[in-house]
Structure 1
Amino acid sequence: MYTTAQPIRKRLTTPILPPPTADTPKLRAMPEYRLESMHAIESLIMRSKMTADQLMEILQAGRAIWLSNPERHWQHRAYLLLYSTLDQAFYVVIVACDPGKKTGSLVTVLTQQQYENDRGAICKYELLRALRSSDATDEQVKQFRYTLAPSRRELRSQAKWEEKLAARARRVTVVIDYVTLTGVFERIEISNPPGQDSEAVEADLTCLVNQPGFAEWIDVESAKKGVVAREILGLKARRGNGELVTLLSAA
């Protein structure tokens, strides 16, 4: 006899995930570390406010940054960088790794200065990675980021911005004062006239009116802006943010 309990029982006994197959992706194994050395415990007590449990929680959660490959060390030692929010400081934990396994025993805990005195300065971008992996606030990460040298991407952006500013400083803008068919005074600005980079115009903006195609350029650009003038009162020009120079005047 069919009852309402049957579909519920069937649903409860159905596995949530299908059984693994050869094509099932493997989950990344989390590292497993042991704190067995009294020296490691003493170094932690002397140099940090972290408890042993707090340190192990950071390491077991994979929130430390590997600074070296233990397979390339003759004693299979690994150097793990982490940030302590309690101390507001970076530390390097030395781990004696078990060959070929993601396990190991802590040897000692070094301050950033102790590590750098022995093995050289830590790359600031590794410090940034460790900071981001910690419980540090977004503001702390942001402030630390400001201390770093600009990345190549930032340098390219800065170079493009400087090029844009340089082009803007060299750009010539022509100002046209005119009277509409209804007798209203109007003014428009149009930029990048022909010949603006010529030697004559570089030396004297008033030479702009003598450049080939200048009059035609005025007509075309004015038409694009829908200008219908009864009378042109004057033409002025400036380079970048400089002062206006009179090119033509009706007076």
Structure 2
Amino acid sequence: VKADGTYEVTVPKLAAGTSVSVEQTKSGVTSGSVTTIVQDDAVPSAPTVNAVKDTDTAVTGTATAGNLVSVKIGDGNYSAVVAANGTYSITIPAQASGTKISVTAKNTANDKVSTATQVTVTDTTLGAPAIDAVNTASTNVTVTGEKGALISVRLPDGTVLTKVADNTGKAVISIPKQTAGTVLTATQTGANGKASAAASVTVVSNTLAAPTINDYYATAGYVTGKAPTGASKIALYVDNQLVRYGAIDSNGKYQIYAADNAKMN
């Protein structure tokens, strides 16, 4: 003990919460002891924050157990104590995509606050659905999107028809017959309430035009021409008798072997 009554004793580094007792002895007489608890002077580590979507109503992540985690969104502040397993979940209102969220952890033993972890709310708006072909005889349109999404089909007169997609993502929606050239559009809306980009389909005639046929010469061996839009195969008839079917290439052209037909030579 120094002349001014103060003392200093070197000790190993002690963990927060450790109990330290001190007593003094003079002329063989020992005083009673006084006890103090080692305080936590550490600045907490920044919390981890899981991704936040525009449909989420909680911010979750990990931090030191017992810390107070605070979430700041604009002028709003939300907080919760970290559980014993090091996780936290803080209820927030659903946020628009692009919103910035700042999360800090505070050591309640010394009121020291960590650096902030920043996250940006992500957009869960669905992509455009797929819409099947529609012809002038169609009374249904099939749209494929996400399971449970609200599928909307807009007709040329502005009428919007809706249906929830089934477990396979499909919605079959009844429509009045449409004229050729009419354009139908379809969107899907998910949990965030935002409509996707639109997919479109142009109504085609369910009656095919006649194919063209090029001049045929006996030495050619093949009947050639062009198929009408929408055709899937071409049939060759000679004197009203079916000879065979032919394939249509990606350019809409066809050729059918005819050299083995006596009437074509």
TM-score > 0.5, shorter chain as reference: no
Query: TM-score scaled to structure 2, two decimals?
Result: 0.22
Bigger strand share = 2
